[in-house]
Amino acid sequence: MVYGVPEERQTDIREAGLKSRTAMAWLRDHHLPAEPICYTVAYEYLFTENSELKQNVDSLDLSSEDYKHSLEKIYKENILNRRYSNLSMSGENVHEYVSEILALLVDSQEELGDMSKVVDKVKSHFSNESNSHTETETEKNGSEKIETKSKVKSAIAKEVASRDELTQALDKKGLIVAIKEAFTESKNFPMSILRIDIDHFKLFNNTNGKMMGDAVLKNLFKSLSSHLKEADIISRFEEDEFIVVLLQTTINDGVSLADELRKKISGLSLKKKGSLSPVHFTISVGVAEFSGKGSFDLSMDKAKKALFRSKDLGRNCVNLEK
């Protein structure tokens, strides 16, 4: 629990995060890009009573080359032109929400400095707007609705921006946000941290080309996603390093799951254009546990130390650091 923030509001924020991840997963499963318009359509399709939009999406052939134009048309006709009559969050409430979200996400100014600046700008913007309003009460309410819709679009853009463009895994900023959200639930502990490195990735790229290297990265994320729980966190942390945070998982269970993943990955076969021979790759994994007490960064360092040990021992293996 985060002190100073009502439990009901914390629940609202957690549910919003879950819905957001579900919408992103829907895009991934349908091989759609994580762009704002596609994301908005996915969210409306999954979580609103917009029956006309749902019918239009269900009738689409998402595998066709023209899917993007069709989704844009649905977005304009069923979302932009639809009246948000119940959307009436005032500027004061926006201040409140911003403060609470910041309280949930920020305990390290160094890690989340950029987010703090964004929040400060949002607060300043709404303060300026409230001081400069001279419209009638009706006009003011209308302006606030437009302002709120802009805020929602901004939040969507941030969600999209926090993901790696190639794989759709969380990037570093997205990882931080997801971890902070997971910290709000005591039931998520202990957590197992997996640091996963693709073996000899630079050599693989030089030998097989960047296109095959990209295929390896995407297939690794796809394999991780299909093997883990929906609540687990997957991030492309560096060029060829992924970080996985397994919620409600002890280090022993984390090691077992990591080895299952390692075996699964080593059995994958990728087709290379112009070659009859399939391409394979392997991973090295380091595992550590975070109990919820002490420093999460220290647990990250332990997982990194375990990863280096896996590399020193010949790669394609799993090691732990307690």
Q: What is the pLDDT of residue 90?
A: 44
Q: What is the pLDDT of residue 108?
A: 41
The predicted-structure confidence for 201-212, as pLDDT tens digits, reads as follows 999 999 999 999
CATH level 2 (architecture), domain 172-320: 2-Layer Sandwich (3.30)
The pTM of the full predicted model, rounded to 2 decimals, is: 0.56
Angle formed at CA 22 by CA 18 and CA 28, multiple of 5 degrees? 145
Q: What is the pLDDT of residue 216?
A: 97
The predicted-structure confidence for 95-114, as pLDDT tens digits, reads as follows 455 455 545 444 444 444 44
Torsion (CA) 146, 151, 155, 158 in degrees, nearest 10? 110
CA 251 to the chain's CA centroid:
23
pLDDT averaged per 10 residues, the chain (length 322):
59 80 86 85 89 88 74 85 48 50 46 49 55 55 58 49 86 90 92 98 94 96 94 95 97 98 95 88 98 94 97 97 96
Residue 316 backbone zone (phi > 0: left; psi -120 to 50: alpha; other: beta) = left
Task: For the chain, give every residue range classified as CATH 3.30.70.270.
Answer: 172-320
The predicted-structure confidence for 183-203, as pLDDT tens digits, reads as follows 989 999 999 999 999 999 999
Q: What is the pLDDT of residue 85?
A: 40
Q: What is the pLDDT of residue 167?
A: 93
- Could you tell me which of 281, 284, 280, 291 has the C-alpha nearest to residue 305? 284
